[in-house]
Chains A and B, each alone.
Chain A
Amino acid sequence: MDMNQYLEIFIEESQEHLQSLNQSLLGLETNPKDMQILNEIFRVAHTIKGMAATMGYNKMTNLTHQMENVLDDIRNGKIEVNTFIVDVLFECLDFLENAVNSIASNGNEGTAAADEIITKLNTILTGKASSGAMAETAITAVADQGIMKFNQYENSVAAKAIAQGFNVFKVKIVLDSGCMLKAARAFIVFQTVERCGEIIKAVPKVEDIEDENFDSEFSIAIISSESEAIIKKELEAISEVSQVIFEKIEHVEEEASNEVLNNVFDLEQRSTTQIEEKESGEDAQSKKSKTGKTVRVDIDRLDNLMNLVSELIIIKTRLEGTGSDTTDQDMSEAVEYLERITTNLHDAVMKVRMVPIERVFNRFPRMVRDLSKELGKDIDLIMSGEETELDRTVIDEIGDPLIHLIRNSIDHGVESKEERVKNGKPATGNLFLRAYQDGNSVVIEVEDDGNGIDLNRVRRKAIEKGLINQVEADSMDERSSVELLFKPGFSTAEKISDISGRGVGLDVVKTKIESLNGVVEVETVSGKGSKFIIRLPLTLAIIQALMVTLGNEKYAIPLNVIRDITTINADTIRNIHGQEVVLNRDSVLPIIRLGRVLDVEGNTSEAENEMTIVVVKKGEKNAGFIVDSLIGQQEIVIKTLGKYLSGIRYIAGATILGDGQVALIVDTNSLI
């Protein structure tokens, strides 16, 4: 069968499962006795095993199979969770992740062998024997007799059944090697058995049998009042069943079953206390039920939908334009109604495109854990606002900058344990990762309680690197010193480390964020820590903009960068070092004649004395753009100029106006 059509689903779902595996493993590390987490890990490993087996990825299948064995033993209390086991499980996760990535990029599992990890898993499995209790040996004594192993629970059920006078059998059923509909045959077997008894266990699991995930044989355990001969005859009568092997369980050792019952009781008790204690457990539960109601949609379709909504908004704006001229009551009411609907529709479509930032945050606990281990620092990652939603396109892009910032904080921000203790701080450092919505933007903060940024060192380094000279350095205030961090080719790390300090970090972060129409700011207090603040627009596709004219051309300036609009007299413009400025609100405001910069012909503003100025901000900097006239505020749909014109300066994109004309959006960032 051609599996390629499922490949994409396989990759996507595997990645999802691996992400949840990652989370659960981290949970297990802090909470080794949590049965719920363990069950979740087991579930994920099992699902991945099933998927990988279906797709024919043997390494993944083998590894997850072995993981399952280990997890099963942990679940049954045969092995205690310790750091070694968690580390090995993490290794498994890494291997699986690599395999999935490799499948995504080259279609195969990659060359890395899983043998080493499997050996480690095996050591865990065999290691348990020495630490195992007496009872377990008893159980295994019963179970090891052949067809399948019972776990404690099943043992107790079997023991009870025997005590009540039922027969307990383990039955191995071998199908004809040429059998085409194995699942169907198995189903008939199940039905037949269920007529005369009850099935308490199946190997492989019933789901797998239903999915035909077995070769030509499977085993079941039956409790029945009928005798072996009768059941055997019934089963052998089913076509394509070639062999039925019975094994009667006569007794389960008393001591073992008692122990087992106690264990079961223990487990139940433990899980009830967990429910009382752990709210997060319930959260996970509710999340799980939520996923059942979702639909996977190709992002292209969403983009298409978004385009259609954009066009609807354009035509709505056009209708508003023509509608405002008429005195027809019906018409204006209809237009008003249309406007309400399009606004709602737009919101709804935007919401569909919104993804919780959790998707990005999820990978950080692991990263922080690994990095801090590597550097020998104790760092707690405290995340909040994971549910904050951002446009899918932003989510896809924001991961790398955040990784940079977090690495930076761990490497440069948080001090070593000794240093922290010396400075009277707790040995464990804190790294805060927060996300929240603020008006029309989303703010992400990466804060550490480390030593803060040494601005003197920053300035020294900048001089060393030739970014500034001594005179400039002396006149620099705090803010402009911090800005130096974002200059290309700047890094303060004394030694280049594996984690950060290649001097490519922060300027890349800044460029990336700016390409998403966002800004980065830094707050730092010496000895107390530093905070990187990223501010991103909620949506990239539709914004409010101020429409202006230059000559006979129309341009859009995004409203969120505009500080205010004012008028000045031409004769108040002064010239300082070739830069035109005016005095505005008691501060010096640089002036940019937008018409000239954009080579517009027929600027009327040049001739007039009174000039309209749009004051635009970029971080802490302001500039006044001289425009010919203002048209007004309008909701615009951002369109790119396309690959062909991607390198154009001063223009951030285009939009289509109500009359179908294209207007360009001014890229204020590149102009200031």
Chain B
Amino acid sequence: MAANITNKYVVFKLENEEYGIDILKVKEIKEMLRITRVPKSPSFVRGVVNLRGEVIPVIDLRKKFNLQSTNDSSSTRIVIVVVDEITVGLIIDTSSEVLEIDKELIEEPPATIASIDHSYIYGIGKVGERLIILLDASKIISMNA
């Protein structure tokens, strides 16, 4: 496991589950932007957006995780993450907060988690009664996953 991970996570919702991404990987969280479809791109790539003059690809996390797609709502957000100098946007249902999760409270992912490929999951964080699925941003961005 990556050694230099802090214990602060940006927590957001997809379907009914809560997910977290290492805060150092997150550049910002944007409200929905106008997306231009890119033909011949993988189905989970919704398209590209203009982020202050930069063209940035946007990944639909619901599609990526094989969840049912829904229409965007007013709470839909784009989380801009930067991994290895690649900037991408991740479309999520709603973002909630930044949480601090101690390393002792993070468990290895269990063998089966409904409908989500394990390789994206870095661990499960326990905060009180809540279980937060911690995502490995670089795995999401690697195209062939």
Task: Give me the interface of A with B, judged by CB distance under 8 Å.
Answer: 307, 310-311, 314, 553, 597-600, 639-645, 647-651, 654, 656, 660-664
Within 8 A of A (CB), among B31-53: 34, 36-41, 45, 47-50, 53
What are 6 A-B residue pairs whose CB atoms fall within 8 Å in the complex? A599-B39, A639-B55, A644-B143, A645-B45, A649-B40, A654-B55
B38 contacts A645, CB within 8 Å? Answer: yes
Residues of A contacting B48 in the complex (Cβ-Cβ under 8 angstroms): 641, 645, 654, 662, 664
For A661, give its contact among B50, B57, B86, B88 (CB under 8 Å). Answer: B50
For A664, give its contact among B38, B50, B143 (CB under 8 Å). Answer: B38
What is the distance, in angstroms, from A604's C-beta to the closest C-beta of chain B?
17
Residues of A contacting B55 in the complex (Cβ-Cβ under 8 angstroms): 639-642, 654, 656, 662
A599 contacts B36, CB within 8 Å? Answer: no
A644 contacts B57, CB within 8 Å? Answer: yes
Q: Is B141 an interface residue (CB 8 A)?
A: yes
B39 contacts A661, CB within 8 Å? Answer: no
Q: Is B104 an interface residue (CB 8 A)?
A: no
Kindly count the residue-residue contacts between A and B in the assembled complex, taking CB atoms under 8 Å apart. 70
For B54, give its contact among A600, A639, A660 (CB under 8 Å). Answer: A639
Residues of B contacting A650 in the complex (Cβ-Cβ under 8 angstroms): 39-40
Residues of B contacting A661 in the complex (Cβ-Cβ under 8 angstroms): 34, 36, 50
Question: For the complex, what is the distance from the CA of A648 to the CA of B55, rounded to whole Å?
Answer: 14
Interface of A is mostly: mixed
Mask of B70-111 contacts with A, CB within 8 angstroms, 1/0: 000000000000000111100000000000000000000000
B39 contacts A651, CB within 8 Å? Answer: yes
Residues of B contacting A553 in the complex (Cβ-Cβ under 8 angstroms): 36-37
What is the distance, in angstroms, from B35's C-beta to the closest C-beta of chain A?
8
Residues of A contacting B86 in the complex (Cβ-Cβ under 8 angstroms): 642-644
Residues of A contacting B54 in the complex (Cβ-Cβ under 8 angstroms): 639
Mask of B116-145 contacts with A, CB within 8 angstroms, 1/0: 000000000000000000000000010100
For A656, give its contact among B53, B85, B88, B143 (CB under 8 Å). Answer: B53
Residues of B contacting A597 in the complex (Cβ-Cβ under 8 angstroms): 39
Residues of A contacting B37 in the complex (Cβ-Cβ under 8 angstroms): 553
Residues of B contacting A600 in the complex (Cβ-Cβ under 8 angstroms): 39
Q: Is B23 an interface residue (CB 8 A)?
A: no
For A662, give its contact among B50, B87, B141, B143 (CB under 8 Å). Answer: B50
Question: For the complex, what is the distance from the CA of A660 to the CA of B36, rounded to whole Å?
Answer: 11
Q: Is B56 an interface residue (CB 8 A)?
A: yes
What is the distance, in angstroms, from A318's C-beta to the closest C-beta of chain B?
12
Nearest residue in B to A307 (C-beta to C-beta)? B53
Question: For the complex, what is the distance from the CA of A647 to the CA of B57, rounded to whole Å?
Answer: 13
Question: For the complex, what is the distance from the CA of A660 to the CA of B30, rounded to whole Å?
Answer: 15
What is the distance, in angstroms, from B62's C-beta to the closest C-beta of chain A?
18
Residues of B contacting A310 in the complex (Cβ-Cβ under 8 angstroms): 53
Nearest residue in B to A661 (C-beta to C-beta)? B34
Question: For the complex, what is the distance from the CA of A642 to the CA of B80, rounded to whole Å?
Answer: 14
A314 contacts B53, CB within 8 Å? Answer: yes
Question: For the complex, what is the distance from the CA of A102 to the CA of B86, rounded to whole Å?
Answer: 30
What is the distance, in angstroms, from A334's C-beta to the closest C-beta of chain B?
23
Question: For the complex, what is the distance from the CA of A660 to the CA of B39, rounded to whole Å?
Answer: 20
Residues of B contacting A649 in the complex (Cβ-Cβ under 8 angstroms): 40
Nearest residue in B to A600 (C-beta to C-beta)? B39
A642 contacts B56, CB within 8 Å? Answer: yes
For B141, give its contact among A644, A647, A648 (CB under 8 Å). Answer: A644
Residues of A contacting B34 in the complex (Cβ-Cβ under 8 angstroms): 660-662
A648 contacts B40, CB within 8 Å? Answer: yes
A662 contacts B40, CB within 8 Å? Answer: no
Residues of B contacting A656 in the complex (Cβ-Cβ under 8 angstroms): 50, 53, 55
Residues of B contacting A651 in the complex (Cβ-Cβ under 8 angstroms): 38-40
What is the distance, in angstroms, from B78's C-beta to the closest C-beta of chain A?
14
Residues of B contacting A663 in the complex (Cβ-Cβ under 8 angstroms): 36
What is the distance, in angstroms, from A525's C-beta to the closest C-beta of chain B?
42
Residues of B contacting A645 in the complex (Cβ-Cβ under 8 angstroms): 38, 41, 45, 48, 57
Knowing A654-B48, A662-B48 are in contact, say whether A641-B57 is a contact too (CB < 8 A).
yes
Knowing A599-B39, A650-B40 are in contact, say whether A662-B49 is a contact too (CB < 8 A).
yes
8 closest A-B pairs by CB: A598-B39, A662-B36, A654-B55, A639-B55, A311-B53, A644-B57, A649-B40, A656-B50
Question: For the complex, what is the distance from the CA of A662 to the CA of B56, rounded to whole Å?
Answer: 10
Question: For the complex, what is the distance from the CA of A437 to the CA of B143, rounded to whole Å?
Answer: 41
Question: For the complex, what is the distance from the CA of A651 to the CA of B49, rounded to whole Å?
Answer: 15
Residues of B contacting A639 in the complex (Cβ-Cβ under 8 angstroms): 54-55
Knowing A311-B53, A662-B49 are in contact, say whether A641-B38 is a contact too (CB < 8 A).
yes
Residues of A contacting B38 in the complex (Cβ-Cβ under 8 angstroms): 641, 645, 648, 651, 664
Nearest residue in A to B45 (C-beta to C-beta)? A645
Residues of B contacting A643 in the complex (Cβ-Cβ under 8 angstroms): 85-86
Q: List 14 additional A-B contacts (Cβ < 8 Å) besides A648-B39, A661-B50, A662-B47.
A: A307-B53, A598-B40, A641-B38, A641-B57, A642-B56, A643-B85, A650-B39, A654-B36, A656-B53, A661-B36, A662-B34, A662-B36, A664-B38, A664-B48
